[in-house]
Chain A
Amino acid sequence: MMVSAEGAVDFTKYIVVANTAVVGAVLVVAGRSLARGALTSDVPDARQNFGEFILDFFVNKARDMSHGLDRAKVMRWVAPVLGSLFLFIFVSNLFGMLPIPKLNQPPTSYYSVTLALALCSVGATLTLGLIFKGAKGAIKHLFWPNPMQWISEITDVLSLSLRLFGNIGGEYMTLTLVLLYAPLGIPLVLHALGLIPAFVQALVFTLLTASFMASAIHKEEKKPKKAGSRRWKLFGAKQERDEAAPEAGRLEEVPSAPAGSPA
């Protein structure tokens, strides 16, 4: 792939770098043009409203995970990471829809790009744990309660990167193969269907990163010690469940009662 049979250098592998740069340029230009001019806390104009509509989701996500912590600090650290991850992945996925020959290879259909994104995500998670819990808490998160907990960070990188690569790269491969045999009409349907994973995979990547971060920045809650051993506590929890169960059963029976009775 790197050097073809004639000895000429093949530039295929540089397309990914160029396309990633184009995605970054598009995002920077769009962001600058959205944030240009005066921002108001009064009734916003359409431009500011659109920008806030995009950022609203990530800010809410960061606020949701900030209970028990310094809310402003969590939002300032977490929301930009989530927002930039989502926007980069979403715009990259949408590049597959462009009708321009070289530009329509989405950067996320290369494993190098998705691996880099997953490494960024897990690295940001570990860094946030370091910031919010200190070095001791962050190291404890890797080895406690399970001493092999650190393996989950490696599998997180693998699962995040392989999921994104498999979806977008698989779709790009399918599209390329279909284009060879049916260049008219049918690719339109595939493009339309491809809009769904383009959005969903970006959302899933962001949501999973958010849940990893939420588990990384929270200290283990110290439960008040009750009298009795752990076994009693387990037994107590089971009892509570059993007491709650008849309640649910009664609620289920309510709709069926009028149907059976002669009215």
Chain B
Amino acid sequence: MSPVYMGLIAIAPIAAGAVVAALAMRQISVSAIDGMTRQPEIAPQLFTAMLIGMALIEALCIYTLVVTLVMAGKVVL
């Protein structure tokens, strides 16, 4: 297989991971902003919970980034 195709296959996981993580984060931020506008007095707690949820989702995206880096390293070297 030509190196171009191998490179494309290697960077495919991060594209898929970023799309799915973006959708999930959109859901979290929409819900958190809804809650904050309804009840501004608990906004700090909602913000903390939002950050933790986002971090947990982002971890999955980071895993795909690591896999991508490993695969891209194998293709290039």
Contact = CB atoms under 8 A, between A and B. Distances in A.
B-side binding surface: helix, strand, loop or mixed?
Answer: helix
Interface string A155-192: 00001001101110010000000000000000000000
B48 interface: yes
Interface string B27-58: 00000000000000000000010011001101
A204 interface: yes
A98 interface: no
Interface size class of A (residues with CB under 8 A): 10 to 19
A204 B55 contact: yes
Contacts of B20: none
A132 to B, nearest CB: 23
Interface in A196-242: 200-201, 203-204, 207-208, 211
A-side binding surface: helix, strand, loop or mixed?
Answer: helix
B66 A162 contact: yes
A200 B59 contact: no
A167 B63 CA distance: 11
Contact of A166 (B48, B51, B65): B65
A162 B58 CA distance: 10
Nearest to A164: B62
A203 B58 contact: no
Contact of B62 (A163, A203, A207): A163
27 contacts: A159-B56, A159-B59, A162-B59, A162-B62, A162-B63, A163-B55, A163-B58, A163-B62, A165-B62, A166-B58, A166-B61, A166-B62, A166-B65, A166-B66, A167-B58, A167-B62, A170-B62, A200-B51, A201-B55, A203-B51, A204-B51, A204-B55, A207-B48, A207-B51, A208-B52, A208-B55, A211-B52
